[in-house]
Structure 1
């Protein structure tokens, strides 16, 4: 069940295509079979296996500690494992309300966090590095993030192995070999990107075409794991494609996963570009929108603009 549109003039989407994983044709690349098979309880005459000797509650707790790609592979083994995974409430809630996140995680091979961590993150709303609604997920390590943070902060700019090696300061002869050994030992969170267009563009075109898959590592984890002297690297912020390759939009799961809030853009702020407190890029949860209106005033249509094309905030006297 989805939260209803509030009375305030709002919209779900902007006429901007950011070319994140939302635009990567995930339904085609990673079709899910959830709901296509009959997984009714197996009869008592069906041969049991070692899993059936364990309490269902214990099996569910174990499955919650498994990463999504491994859980997906386990689910596909046979009818019994499919039934077991489908009995995990948190997993079924995510499949129902945000299947593209599951598709993206499987497609880019994210294994740094488990099913329980993903569900807990989806039940939160705040960006992990600021006070805005984090309407995206940074999938390398499962953090909620807003548009401003993932396009501007260094920690959301993932590294290729070549760029990461520049963080590790050794002499020229031993650098590459020592780095590879240490990298294998540390194993920082990473993804294998999908080919496609990334970063901002119009609804019909734009973005930067990436024709091959890249292994991208979490910058923060690399910096914390390796002794380095910093990284001088070109950063084009919102036109840097690598910043968009691990990003996907994420709703908020409410009431134990029974409801979902996908957030709203305020039409009264649709032309605001300078003030980051009410920038047109900011998205609000239903609760957050109420606070926004209380602070900046109700939204009314501009006069004598063409009806429906302009809105503004008006404070009460």
Structure 2
């Protein structure tokens, strides 16, 4: 996002502007697949460190490879195999822990690693796949800032596209089989991947949802079955006309921050407080209020958002606390608010 032209006077006060005028939509993180903070703390230390004692055993024929080739081999291992390799011995642990891509992913994107492992999709992607997504900030579908990882493809997406784009449709295998007029056993044999769901909230109002044991990535399954002529056009029409349970889309993604190689900073995405102010005062655009920006994207937006500039002016250059909407103060996570952000 460095190509975004941010005015010099805005760039000069960037940190203070972000602190006063933006907020992170925590509710977007909580409604998708996530781990309990306690569980994360328990595993992160062991994932990021090798054993204190020095290695004594070798790696057999693998130990003869030059360091550069060994790194290529490790980057090419799928995530599940990579962790199996880490368990071989201390030398394997040292080599895998020292891999630059793994170091960044295990430090900044642990939810992605855990999400793939819990969804039983870790054998489909490499550490390098997760690393490349980590250092890319754009949603694959729309090009806006994307703060989520779509587990079926390990690609970055934004919350809006996850909710609305046909690309991210997911169905339980039983529903897919019925609509496609194919037996469940044949579907399982031919369609390939399925995602194992895990317990979670999966809706903004924290209401209990029916969680199927597995989900199928509709787009990929249709492509595969069409390619071998296992289904026809009538099956596709049935599938695409089915009304979705939107909660199931949230079971296929997890929060995934962006790591900037340019300045070595981590970004989780921010939203605009001024857009919430406009929504409450004049019933503005709800979709615009929900937009998530990178740091530079927000600074560019700030230079054009009148309400946000008013907040900045009230703060006297970030030196005074300003009154802000309840929704932004709570980082979006307030289930007693209506759709406009006001108390219901």
Task: For structure 2, list consecutive stretches of 5 or more residues without a partner in the other structure.
Answer: 1-13, 227-231, 315-320, 327-344
- Cα 1:107–1:63 change in 2 (3 A) is same
Aligned to 1:69: 80
Aligned to 2:208: 208
If each structure's helix is expressed as a fraction of its own residues, which one has the higher value? 2
Aligned to 2:329: none
Task: Map 1:146-295 onto structure 2 (within 5 A).
Answer: 146-166=158-178, 168-169=180-181, 175-176=182-183, 180-181=185-186, 183-187=188-192, 189-201=193-205, 206-210=206-210, 214-227=213-226, 228=232, 229-230=235-236, 231=239, 232-236=241-245, 240-255=246-261, 258-271=264-277, 272=279, 275=285, 279-295=288-304
Superposed CA RMSD in Å reads 3.1
Q: Return the offset for 1:76.
A: 2.3
Q: Return the offset for 1:233.
A: 2.3
TM-score (norm 1): 0.78
Task: For structure 1, list consecutive stretches of 5 or more residues without a partner in the other structure.
Answer: 170-174, 312-317
What is the aligned residue count?
286
Q: Distance in 2 between matches of 1:57 and 1:243?
A: 40
TM-score (norm 2): 0.72
Residues 206-228 of structure 1, C-alpha deviation per residue, up to 9 Å, x if partnerless? Answer: 143456x6221211101111134
Q: Does 1:87 align with 2:98?
A: yes
Residues 137-172 of structure 1, C-alpha deviation per residue, up to 9 Å, x if partnerless? Answer: 111111211111111123212122112224544xxx
SS in 2 for 1:109: coil
- Cα 1:83–1:252 change in 2 (3 A) is same
Q: Distance in 1 between matches of 2:166 and 2:302?
A: 32
Q: Does 1:7 align with 2:34?
A: no
Q: Return the offset for 1:185.
A: 4.2
Contact 2:111/2:255 (8 A) holds in 1: no
SS in 2 for 1:137: strand
- Cα 1:207–1:198 change in 2 (3 A) is farther
- Cα 1:112–1:122 change in 2 (3 A) is same
Contact 2:25/2:271 (8 A) holds in 1: yes
Q: Return the offset for 1:274.
A: 5.4
Contact 2:48/2:106 (8 A) holds in 1: no
Q: Distance in 1 between matches of 2:30 and 2:48?
A: 31
Q: Return the offset for 1:259.
A: 2.8
Contact 1:168/1:226 (8 A) holds in 2: no
Q: Distance in 2 between matches of 1:112 and 1:234?
A: 29
